């Protein structure tokens, strides 16, 4: 099953490779990983989308916690969360297609962030299904370039508190 | 006052209580060696290969319980020590390794003897550091020792660029360390410990399965109290040997692939497994789906990842063995009632039956070839009252040592379990000897393994480390040959070593003493002579080449289905077999 794991790490040289190395070395799946500094510049926030059965996810969470540069691990699937992904899509637009492209942009509340006589560059945010959907619609026009950020996610507030696993308390 | 990085390094080591550094120099660490040369507090043991330095640090750590320290140069120095780091990582040995690095301004430029030391060692260290500024050096070294020796111990690398060892900084050694992402749990959850005590009180056929974690934790006394109070039998892993007295009536010996019959049967048929500092390795579980089918499992381990990694656990307790066992004993002392001996009688009757049915055994004929088990047994009997430290290499001889050398105390047993590193034994023994100059240190070696770090004999002679190596010389990679006999139809692909070198002459070439025992009748005499010799000794004991190690659970097999002796076809084949040269081997043995 797919899990989104939110990992707070030291904002230090080499931390990304420790996390990535853990996943590759132990044969855990990584579907996407995004990382950026938090409000506190000494920490970074990673959002990792992974998958596995219960035992594997338990190992992933424990192994992440075991990394010395990891400060906090939250398996967001244990709570309610909201997640977003952004895609930037460059589409070819022949004259006849330009109106159609804008219509699609409109439907998905996407934005055109750059345009030339023969292309539009479109930015869209949402859950992965929405991104898939707009890609499907734009594909017939001819997609020239596509980049996706991978998902970021955060627990919903205050419906239920996330079950966090901080390292200060015994986890069992 | 300002000190150079090299001087800071030395001051830090002194404050960590380090006495010995196993080291081999090179360009980028010359400043450090130069400063080491001008002081008297730290002893530098110059090894002949960096792998040797790494294993010596491991042997030192296992025997003392303190961090072992090694120092290597950049590039090839670093790549050579990797095997030892990987070994220490698998077996949770506290080692702090210092490596030299090219000057900071050259890092990443493919400079001479540059390697990405941090990248190379990342998957085989608990943590690693690249020190980019001499002002960070002292705090980094403090953290390195802290991480290596706390929680689940392990190796830590500190990579020091040449300019960092030369630059000057004000020296201040921090008193304490606080790392926000690293807070090992020592105290077990009280409620879970109570659950464990309840389960123990209810169990009819409980078994203690104890491992290396008990050594690191220093919890032997607590374990002994628990076992004696409750009369629960004790199975030890390969890494746990010595944490419980091997001759104690509650000890069933080692369990697992080459464990004793009673240890494995008791595990399989138990109704409660109490795992203490052991990690359910596949050499112990065998086929996971059929592992201990009737048992509830209590698992005490300081590392949460060890729990439920391989096996379902009913009562998980994250914590230090010593702390948790103390608390558990306290509860049990108040609740255990009635005579435990009576209560456990049916279980022990069953175990005694198993023990009698298939004890460890071998056949030694008076004039026949020397059996390897016999050598270990005699060595044990001749040295037991000297409380020796025993190291092994990897292979059949390692398993026979585990079966027949019964240790009474922890920190006496140096072996490579997780990585199974041939060549570990001799340097590890030297590391222990460097820590305890007056103790008897034995290395039970294989003729294959010992050649992997033979060069360290020069170190042993020069640095006066009087290790006694006993080579069980079967002319084979015996463990490989055993698998080939059992599972590859006796085709000895690359397992025959021939009879070279002459280990007696080899010892002599290094300036050590070489002895040989060819006949059963002279074995004791030769062993005694070796034990009475002052310096390092090699005792070469040619043994029966086709002896196999039993019991054996084939990889992936079930614990109660052990092979107990050579299958009949194999016996027939071997009865006519002489040790043969590679050319005619196939014809003789498959005939
Ligand atoms: C040829 C060969 C054959 C082998 N055959 C066998 C065999 O028959 N039987 C066998 O048992 N092994 C055998 N092994 C060894 C095997 O591969 C494993 O290394 C061994 O079983 C692991 O031992 P352990 O479970 O005690 O774990 P260790 O590797 O010693 O791990 C210790 C555990 O304790 C925990 N721990 C550490 N410190 C503490 C603390 N303070 N408090 C609580 N917990 C702590 C750690 O987190 C870890 O989980 C063999 C190896 C070789 C090379
Ligand atoms: C570095 C390394 N290479 C290969 C192996 C695989 N291996 C395991 S046991 C063994 C044979 C060991 O032979 P020897 O040291 O003579 O011991 P014996 O089994 O004969 O007692 C080999 C090659 C290993 N464990 N380590
Ligand atoms: Mg051999």
Digit-coded pLDDT (tens) for A3-29: 999 999 999 999 999 999 999 999 999
Residue B320: exposed, middle, or buried by beta-carbon count in 10 A (0-12, 13-18, 19+)?
buried
Residue in B119, B183, B187 closest to A167 by CB: B183
> What pLDDT, on the 0 to 100 scale, is given for residue A165?
55
Cβ-defined contact of B304 to A55 (cutoff 8 Å)? no
Q: How far apart are CA B238 and CA B401, in angstroms?
A: 10
Interhelix angle B76-90/B50-64, nearest 10 degrees: 30
Closest ligand to residue B449's CA? 2
> What pLDDT, on the 0 to 100 scale, is given for residue B337?
76
> What pLDDT, on the 0 to 100 scale, is given for residue B587?
32
> What pLDDT, on the 0 to 100 scale, is given for residue B306?
96
Three-class secondary structure of residue B389 per DSSP = strand
CA of B481 to the centre of ligand 2 (A): 10
Q: Is there a contact between B191 and B160 (Cβ–Cβ < 8 Å)?
A: no
Q: How far apart are CA B496 and CA B259, in angstroms?
A: 26
Q: Is there a contact between B112 and B100 (Cβ–Cβ < 8 Å)?
A: no
Q: Is there a contact between B311 and B289 (Cβ–Cβ < 8 Å)?
A: no
DSSP B29: G
pLDDT band at A164 (very low <50, low <70, confident <90, very high): low
Q: Is A117 on the interface with B (CB under 8 A)?
A: no
CA nearest neighbour of A73 among B72, B305, B274: B305
Three-class secondary structure of residue A169 per DSSP = coil
Q: How far apart are CA B168 and CA B175, in angstroms?
A: 21
In order, the DSSP letters of B311-379 are: S--SEEEES-HHHHHHHHHHHHHHH--S-HHHHTHHHHHHHHHHHHHS-------SSSPPPHHHHHHHH
Which pLDDT tens digits describe chain B residue by residue (591 residues)?
899 999 999 999 999 999 999 999 999 999 999 999 999 999 999 999 999 999 999 999 999 999 999 999 999 999 999 999 999 999 999 999 999 999 999 999 999 999 999 999 999 999 999 999 999 999 999 999 999 999 999 999 999 999 999 999 999 999 999 999 999 999 999 999 999 999 999 999 999 999 999 999 999 999 999 999 999 999 999 999 999 999 999 999 999 999 999 999 999 999 999 999 999 999 999 999 999 999 999 999 999 999 999 999 999 999 999 999 999 999 999 988 778 889 999 999 999 999 999 999 999 999 999 999 999 999 999 999 999 999 999 999 999 999 999 999 999 999 999 999 999 999 999 999 999 999 999 999 999 999 999 999 999 999 999 999 999 999 999 999 999 999 999 999 999 998 789 999 999 999 999 999 999 999 999 999 999 999 999 999 999 999 999 999 998 899 999 999 999 988 877 776 665 443 333 333 332
Residue pairs between chains A and B whose CB atoms are closer than 8 Å = 56
Cβ-defined contact of A68 to B181 (cutoff 8 Å)? yes
> What pLDDT, on the 0 to 100 scale, is given for residue A158?
72
Interhelix angle B520-532/B372-383, nearest 10 degrees: 40
Question: Does the Cβ of B478 fall within 6 Å of ligand 1?
Answer: no
Q: How far apart are CA B488 and CA B240, in angstroms?
A: 32
β-pair partners for A147: A88
> What pLDDT, on the 0 to 100 scale, is given for residue A94?
86
DSSP B449: G
Q: Is there a contact between B449 and B416 (Cβ–Cβ < 8 Å)?
A: no
Give, in degrees to the nearest 5, the angle at Cα B422 between B214 and B564.
Answer: 70
Cβ-defined contact of A63 to B180 (cutoff 8 Å)? no
Q: Is the pLDDT of residue A169 over 60?
A: no
Segment 102-131 of chain B within 8 Å of chain A by CB: 118-119, 122-123, 126-127, 130
Do β-strands B2-4 and A143-148 pair in parallel, antiparallel, or remain unpaired? Answer: unpaired
Q: Is the pLDDT of residue A124 over 90?
A: yes
Q: How far apart are CA B420 and CA B448, in angstroms?
A: 13
Cβ-defined contact of A58 to B319 (cutoff 8 Å)? no
Cβ-defined contact of B181 to A14 (cutoff 8 Å)? no
Question: Does the Cβ of B536 fall within 6 Å of ligand 2?
Answer: no
In order, the DSSP letters of B111-179 are: -TT---HHHHHGGGSSEEEE--SGGGHHHHHHHHHHHHHSSS--EEEEEEEHHHHHSEEE----S----
Interhelix angle A15-25/A54-66, nearest 10 degrees: 150
Is the backbone peptide bond immediately before B127 cis, with ω within 30 degrees of 0? no
Chain A interface, mutation test: which of B305, B307, B308, most A Cβ atoms within 10 Å?
Answer: B305
Residue B504 tokens read as 């007696």
Q: How far apart are CA B422 and CA A70, in angstroms?
A: 35
Give every CB contact of residue A55 below 8 A, 6+ residues apart in sequence.
B308
CA distance B137 to chain A (A): 17
> What pLDDT, on the 0 to 100 scale, is given for residue A95?
87
Give, in degrees to the nearest 5, the angle at Cα B171 between B165 and B176.
Answer: 110
CA distance A76 to chain B (A): 20
Residue in B147, B180, B307 closest to A172 by CB: B307
CB-facing half-sphere around the CA of A13: CA atoms within 13 A: 7
Is the backbone peptide bond immediately before B501 cis, with ω within 30 degrees of 0? yes
Q: Is A71 on the interface with B (CB under 8 A)?
A: yes
Cβ-defined contact of B179 to A168 (cutoff 8 Å)? no
Name chain B contacts of A172, Cβ cutoff 8 Å: 189, 192, 304, 307, 316-318
CA of B473 to the centre of ligand 2 (A): 12
Q: Is there a contact between B537 and B515 (Cβ–Cβ < 8 Å)?
A: yes
Nearest residue on chain B to A11, alpha-carbon basis:
B181
What is the per-residue pLDDT across A37-61, written as a single tens digit (0 to 9) for each? 999 999 999 999 999 999 999 999 9
Long-range contacts of A24-31 (CB under 8 A, 24+ apart): A25/B123, A26/A59, A26/A63, A28/A52, A28/A56, A28/A59, A28/A60, A28/A63, A31/A2, A31/A150
Q: How far apart are CA B83 and CA B427, in angstroms?
A: 13
Residue A118 tokens read as 């023969």
Cβ neighbour number for residue B381 with a 10 Å cutoff: 13
Q: How far apart are CA B54 and CA B118, in angstroms?
A: 16
Q: How far apart are CA A23 and CA A30, in angstroms?
A: 7
Interhelix angle B372-383/B396-404, nearest 10 degrees: 40
Do β-strands A111-116 and A119-126 pair in parallel, antiparallel, or remain unpaired? Answer: antiparallel
Q: Is B305 on the interface with A (CB under 8 A)?
A: yes
Closest ligand to residue B396's CA? 2
Answer positive or negative: Cα dihedral of B381, B57, B462, B500.
positive
């Amino acid at each position: 099953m797919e899990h989104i794991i939110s990992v707070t790490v030291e904002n230090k040289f080499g931390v990304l490779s420790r996390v990535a190395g853990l996943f590759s070395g132990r044969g855990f799946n990584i579907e996407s990983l995004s990382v950026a500094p938090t409000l506190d510049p000494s920490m970074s926030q990673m959002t990792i989308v992974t998958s596995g059965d219960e035992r594997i996810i338990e190992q992933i969470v424990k192994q992440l916690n075991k990394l010395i540069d990891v400060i906090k691990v939250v398996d967001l699937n244990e709570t309610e969360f909201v997640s977003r992904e952004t895609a930037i899509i460059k589409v070819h637009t022949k004259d006849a297609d330009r109106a159609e492209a804008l219509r699609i942009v409109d439907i998905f509340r996407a934005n055109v962030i750059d345009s030339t006589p023969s292309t539009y560059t479109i930015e869209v945010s949402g859950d992965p299904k929405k991104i898939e959907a707009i890609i499907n619609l734009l594909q017939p026009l001819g997609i020239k370039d596509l980049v996706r950020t991978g998902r970021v996610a955060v627990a919903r507030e205050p419906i239920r508190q996330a079950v966090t696993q901080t390292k200060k308390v015994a986890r069992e | 006052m300002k000190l150079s990085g090299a001087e800071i390094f030395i001051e830090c080591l002194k404050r960590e209580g380090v006495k010995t550094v196993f080291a081999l120099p090179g360009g980028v660490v010359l400043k450090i060696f130069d400063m080491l040369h001008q002081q008297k507090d730290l002893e530098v043991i110059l090894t002949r290969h960096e792998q040797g330095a790494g294993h010596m640090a491991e042997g030192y750590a296992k025997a003392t319980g303190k961090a072992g320290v090694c120092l290597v140069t950049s590039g090839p120095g670093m790549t050579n020590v990797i095997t030892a780091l990987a070994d220490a990582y698998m077996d949770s040995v506290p080692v702090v390794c210092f490596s030299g690095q090219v000057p900071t301004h050259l890092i990443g430029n493919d400079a001479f003897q540059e390697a990405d030391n941090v990248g190379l060692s990342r998957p085989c260290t608990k943590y690693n550091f690249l020190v980019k500024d001499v002002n960070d050096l002292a705090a980094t070294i403090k953290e390195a020792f802290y991480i290596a020796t706390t929680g689940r111990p392990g190796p830590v690398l500190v990579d020091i660029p040449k300019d960092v060892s030369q630059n000057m900084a004000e020296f201040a050694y921090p008193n304490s360390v606080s790392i926000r992402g690293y807070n090992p749990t020592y105290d077990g959850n009280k409620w879970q410990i109570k659950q464990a005590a309840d389960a123990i009180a209810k169990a009819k056929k409980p078994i203690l399965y104890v491992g290396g974690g008990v050594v690191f934790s220093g919890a032997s006394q607590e374990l002994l109290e628990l076992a004696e109070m409750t009369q629960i039998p004790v199975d030890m892993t390969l890494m746990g040997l010595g944490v419980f007295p091997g001759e104690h009536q509650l000890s069933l010996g080692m369990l697992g692939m080459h464990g004793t019959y009673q240890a494995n049967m008791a595990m399989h048929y138990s109704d409660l497994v109490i795992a203490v500092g052991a990690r359910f390795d596949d050499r112990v579980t065998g086929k996971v789906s059929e592992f201990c089918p009737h048992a509830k499992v209590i698992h005490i381990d300081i590392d949460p990842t060890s729990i439920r990694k391989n096996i379902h656990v009913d009562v998980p307790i994250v914590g230090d063995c010593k702390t948790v066992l103390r608390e558990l004993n306290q509860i049990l002392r108040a609740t255990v009632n009635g005579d435990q001996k009576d209560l456990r009688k049916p279980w022990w009757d069953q175990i005694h039956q198993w023990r009698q049915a298939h004890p460890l055994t071998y056949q030694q004929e008076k004039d026949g070839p020397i059996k390897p088990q016999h050598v270990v047994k005699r060595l044990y009997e001749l040295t037991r009252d000297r409380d020796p430290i025993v190291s092994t290499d990897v292979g059949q001889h390692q398993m026979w040592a585990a079966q027949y050398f019964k240790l009474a105390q922890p920190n006496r047993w140096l072996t490579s379990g997780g990585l199974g590193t041939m060549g570990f034994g001799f340097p590890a023994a030297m590391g222990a000897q460097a820590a305890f100059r007056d103790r008897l240190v034995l290395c039970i070696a294989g003729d294959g393994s010992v050649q992997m770090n033979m060069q360290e004999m020069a170190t042993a002679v020069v640095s006066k480390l009087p290790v006694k190596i006993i080579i069980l010389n079967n002319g084979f990679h015996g463990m490989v040959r055993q698998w080939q006999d059992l599972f590859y139809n006796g085709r000895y692909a690359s397992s025959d070593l021939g009879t070279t070198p002459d280990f007696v002459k080899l010892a002599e070439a290094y300036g050590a003493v070489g002895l040989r025992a060819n006949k059963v009748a002279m074995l004791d005499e030769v062993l005694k002579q070796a034990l009475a010799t002052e310096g390092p000794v090699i005792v070469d004991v040619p043994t029966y080449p086709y002896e196999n190690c039993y019991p054996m659970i084939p990889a992936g097999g079930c614990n109660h289905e052990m092979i107990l002796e050579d299958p009949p076809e194999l016996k027939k084949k071997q009865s006519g077999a002489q040790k043969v040269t590679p050319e005619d081997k196939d014809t003789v043995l498959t005939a």
